[in-house]
Structure 1
């Protein structure tokens, strides 16, 4: 059923940047306000930065043709806002570097006011950085590290701390430090430096500016200690220039084709981020050969890669040690909307918020508890490379529980396949604020809940998702939890209600097999009226995950033996060829 959005919760935002103007309408309506659903979005490829330079490179006012085109775009968006019934008071126009520094900025903004009646709010440098940092905070469940936003005319540097343990978003008092090194600005400066033979001087200028900016931020000791503990900072990047760099890196990823099309939440190592030669080679190929084009990288973005590479190289030699890089979709629009939310909503997990509307029986909490009870508490018995407690978090399992029944209406032929695609091109594709890792884990869990068997057309996609999983042990736990979820759904076909609660209990603990190998001991306890013999097949399905031939990689691969102990289903298992209940 489609969601009906009340007009009072709608927000229309215009982000008037240097490289383009973004028009959007979003909803802050409960209960999905945290993920700020987008109802409409459109980008006008009008470069206010380029409009301020003559062909000879001289600075000039924004020309009449550009102003007219901008006003026409605004008039069209005003009609769109009317179609969506957006209240006039809920429209916000935000302008950044290009409008802020334009020679005829006052006249330009007055023309927009005359055309549509909307005031243009110019963000000061520090405020632009603060709003951009809030956009990054909106993009992920947790953020702790350095933040850079690369626009067309400027670059902002800041630090950010937002954890689930605190409802507050911490950042420097001044918000951010702004530097005049945006993608378009750097392209112009670099071309000029190459003509004049002053490239080395430009690099020193950039490095000095970045050093001074970092020093002025007063990065808190807690963040520095975290970086020391984890062998470096996490660097969060936003802005079109950096996103273009990220899409090139995705096109060069070891897993090809890279199965997740959205840039938000994409992670790469320091070494991958600094593979400048490889990124430039890909960008040049994309410009010279249309067939070598890169998804979501326009010719304009590809043409700016050398300038971004110059900036990245300067950053690598100037900033403190960077361990990994996260790319974020959130910018001025998302940051402005995120600031409109109360702190308690900002602290919600995006994946849980996005999926809880699918929990029509309002019982996913009880199902989440069952899933958690099927995970044995770590006691050192598990393999040293198996980090399942930090991977299968309560938030992830709650999202899994929320969607446990969603694909029940599908044909059996489609259930696993539709579930597999749900986080990339299905019902969860548009969610804002989700890590790539969580998109992968949830997709594979949902697929396995329906048996994991997908048609040939989806097998390469499933394999690509599996290859993105860092540890093979995680794949084994996905198979295990998927089978447990199938058992739970069979026992509770309509969800857990007040009338059927207590029908099933699960208890898991670590044990050792006869050979001294780690083993999962799962106790399955049915209520007396649950007719447990009817669920023997599902119980056997859980046990089969522990068979060596079903381990990840086969008999010599990765997995644990599972010993299931339960009540009342021993006769069924014996009848289908099993031995004593739960025994291999």
Structure 2
């Protein structure tokens, strides 16, 4: 089996390098996980290469690790037959899609590494599927492809560093990653840790007569793993030391992937303040640290709630005590969690990321979602800069996110002049729903980002929301307020200012100069005797045929009304707007 093992030393030879000139850009990958086998076909065609666009996917509920436990660490013939059949079927599917043989890959993980008759499984697959070979991932490579690059595939970046974890059926991988570092992927993987505490493995512990001793070993192992990571990564150690010295702000973000952790994410979504939760995917969901650490509540809900929990299969509900045991051990070792984000990435996405050249791998996926013609760039930049002029310089927006700090300005500006011929009420609803539903699971487009886009985009239209959309707006507002109590105000405020811009310039401007010559915006903060902060917004409009008959006072009133009705709650800011004709 040693010839089939992918290590950090040989991964460059084992994984083919992506060639943009290859006729077929479809890649089929099988991840033989310990708790299930996942199959996917992905397109790396340009210009959407970085998005890893899914073409086809399914999951076979074959628990390889589970059958080892009940069969003396051997794969029974029945399981081998099941695996051969499902691989044969997927191979035929990939042929029908047009995937070349050399772009078909199969990866084995913890169960394949530990089974006493793994060679028999490998031989049966190769002989009975007309040549399919399985590559066994070394634990550090599983860290690289799963916890590191699998999670990384869904992010713009992880600048500043974060802790990354992957939980399968047999093991948990954990490491620290800072995407500012050169060769961060290999460094993070080589210094990562792997613990044999996957969901199936821990269920065995919970059923053991030595349960308490085994759980104590789990806690000790997690603490030891964290100590080891702190020894490898000085930035992580510095944060831990500061926290232990009393700095309550010394916290960091964590990113989690793998079926076990995604199950925990589904339970967090079920208990989120945004209820009912408006986005139908755990991928790119973020939970505040306090909610993430409320493990006992999550365990209680799993036991007591008799209804269906979105994203939780019967098997995942059954395994949830094992998942919470791992999460609790992790929190005991790592209490200073700012927020936890969940990723749909896996070994499959991680492998594709490693095949890409650095320029493609490190590119911003949001740029791909908002493509511009080169001659439009200057105009859209001018509009973006104009909207940013409405944000007072006295406000620190590093702690209060907007579409600009979140890197979503291009996605928003693109939509300002769209759908101008449709009813404003329909447009307000469309903007709200489109932000939630567009580009499912697109890298870089988080739940929080979608909520920001939805609130900002809806406010761009002077339209009321119907009862169902009002509920959606309320849920999306909760997501935004989880990050900052003022973020909702700034979202609807920017949208309202965009409404004014589109009223003065009803057609998409043809040049940056047209934008700059038509409208000027200034903003300031005025602090009253009651310590209330008022944003003083002044918009100057150049007189033209476009401005004739427009009630500028009503336009200014719209900005104030939207901010007051949709964003003022719990915010320390009020809005005062004035629109004048420039002389």
Residue 450 of structure 2 is matched in structure 1 by 439
Query: For 1:159, what is the secondary structure of its paired residue?
Result: strand
Aligned to 2:177: 160
Is the contact made by 1:168 and 1:343 (CA closer than 8 Å) also made in structure 2? Answer: no
How many Å apart are 1:491 and its aligned residue? 5.1
Match of 2:334 in 1: 319
Determine helix, strand or coil for the equivalent of 2:452: helix
Instruction: Report SS of the residue matched to 2:480.
Output: coil
Q: Contact 2:489–2:571 at 8 Å: present in 1 too?
A: no
**CA spacing shift, 1:490–1:514, aligned 2, 3 Å:** same
CA distance in 1, matches of 2:186, 2:541: 46
Shift of residue 251, structure 1, vs aligned partner: 0.8
Aligned partners of 1:18 and 1:97 also within 8 Å: yes
1:451 alignment counterpart: 462
Tell me how far apart the structure 1 counterparts of residues 33 and 295 of structure 2 sit (CA, whole Å): 26
* 1:354 shift after superposition: 1.8
Secondary structure class of the residue paired with 2:275: coil
CA apart distance, 1:396: 1.4
User: Is 1:273 aligned to 2:292, yes or no?
Assistant: yes
The answer on 1:424 being equivalent to 2:441 is no
Query: Matches of 2:538 and 2:264 in 1, distance apart?
Result: 47
Query: What SS class does the counterpart of residue 395 from structure 1 fall into?
Result: coil
In the other structure, the counterpart of 2:43 is 27
Q: Which moved more, 1:231-240 or 1:241-250?
A: 231-240
Cα deviation per residue 1:144-180 (whole Å; 9 max; x = unaligned)?
22122110011111111125x9895574361521111
Specify the alignment match of 1:510 in structure 2.
524
| Secondary structure, aligned partner of 1:15 | strand
Partner of 2:163: 146
Match of 1:242 among 261, 274, 286: 261
Q: CA deviation at 1:140?
A: 2.2
For residue 322 of structure 2, what is the aligned residue in structure 1? 307
Within 5 Å, give how 1:434-513 maps onto structure 2. Answer: 434-470=445-481, 471-490=484-503, 493=506, 495-498=508-511, 501-502=514-515, 504-510=518-524, 512=526
Distance in 2 between residues matched to 1:221 and 1:518, nearest whole Å: 43
**CA shift in 2, pair 1:269/1:430, >3 Å:** closer
Describe how 1:211-230 pairs up with structure 2 within 5 A: 211-217=223-229, 218-225=231-238, 228=242, 230=249
- Structure 2 distance, partners of 1:423, 1:248, is 23
Deviations 1:104-156 (A, max 9, x none): 21221222223142221110011111111111112222322212211001111
Alignment deviations for residues 297-330 of structure 1 (CA, whole Å, 9 cap, x no partner): 0111111111122222222222363332222221
Kept after mapping to 1: 8 A contact 2:32/2:108: yes
**Residues 491-570 of structure 1 mapped to structure 2, 5 A cutoff:** 493=506, 495-498=508-511, 501-502=514-515, 504-510=518-524, 512=526, 518-526=534-542, 530-534=544-548, 536=550, 540-546=554-560, 550=565, 552-553=567-568, 558-567=573-582
Tell me, which stretches of 5 or more residues in structure 2 are unaligned?
1-20
Q: Is there any run of 5+ residues in structure 1 with no aligned partner, and where? A: 569-584
Q: 1:215 to 1:499 in 2, by over 3 A?
A: closer
SS of 2:408's equivalent in the other structure is helix
Matches within 5 A, 1:85-484: 85-114=98-127, 115-132=129-146, 133-143=148-158, 144-162=161-179, 169=185, 171-172=187-188, 174-192=190-208, 196=209, 198-217=210-229, 218-225=231-238, 228=242, 230-286=249-305, 289=306, 292-319=307-334, 321-356=336-371, 359=372, 363=376, 366-376=379-389, 381-382=394-395, 387-388=399-400, 392-393=404-405, 395-408=407-420, 412-425=424-437, 427-470=438-481, 471-484=484-497
Q: CA deviation at 1:40?
A: 0.8
Structure 1 residue 500, shift from structure 2 partner: 7.8
Specify whether residues 387 and 186 from structure 1 end up closer, same or farther in structure 2 by C-alpha distance, changes over 3 A only. Answer: closer
For the 8 Å contact 1:368–1:394, the answer to whether it is kept is no
For residue 42 of structure 1, report the CA deviation from its aligned partner. 0.7
**Structure 2 Cα separation of the partners of residues 331 and 397 of structure 1:** 29
Contact 1:487 1:535 (C-alpha < 8 Å) held by counterparts: no
The offset of 1:472, in angstroms, is 4.6
TM-score by length of 2: 0.84
Shift of 1:436: 1.7
Give me the whole-angstrom Cα distance separating, in 2, the residues matched to 1:130 and 1:553: 45
Cα pair 2:165 2:256 within 8 Å, conserved: yes
Query: 3-state SS of the aligned residue for 1:256?
Result: coil
Contact conserved, 1:545 with 1:562, CA < 8 A, in 2?
Answer: yes
> Is 1:487–1:538's contact at 8 Å kept on the other side of the alignment?
no
Name the counterpart of 1:575: none
1:59 equivalent among 67, 72, 82: 72
- Deviation (angstroms), 1:73: 1.4
Describe the shift of the 1:224–1:397 C-alpha distance in structure 2 as closer, same or farther (beyond 3 A): farther
Q: Tell me, in whole angstroms, the C-alpha distance in 2 between the residues paired with 1:322 and 1:31.
A: 37
SS of the equivalent of 2:63 reads coil
**SS of alignment partner, residue 55 of structure 2:** strand
**Post-superposition CA distance 1:429-467 (Å, at most 9, x none):** 341332221110011122222335222222111111112
Spell out structure 1 runs of 4+ moving beyond 6 A. 377-380, 513-516, 554-557
Pair 334,112 (structure 1): closer, same or farther in 2 beyond 3 Å: same
What is the SS of the residue equivalent to 1:261?
Answer: coil
RMSD over equivalenced CA pairs, Å: 3.2
* Alpha-carbon distance in 1 for matches of 2:63, 2:569: 56
- Give, in angstroms, the shift of residue 475 of structure 1: 2.3
The 8 Å contact of residues 165 and 175 in structure 2, kept in 1 or not, is answered as yes
When structure 1 is superposed on structure 2, of 321-330 and 10-19 the one drifting more is 321-330
TM-score w.r.t. the length of structure 1 is 0.84
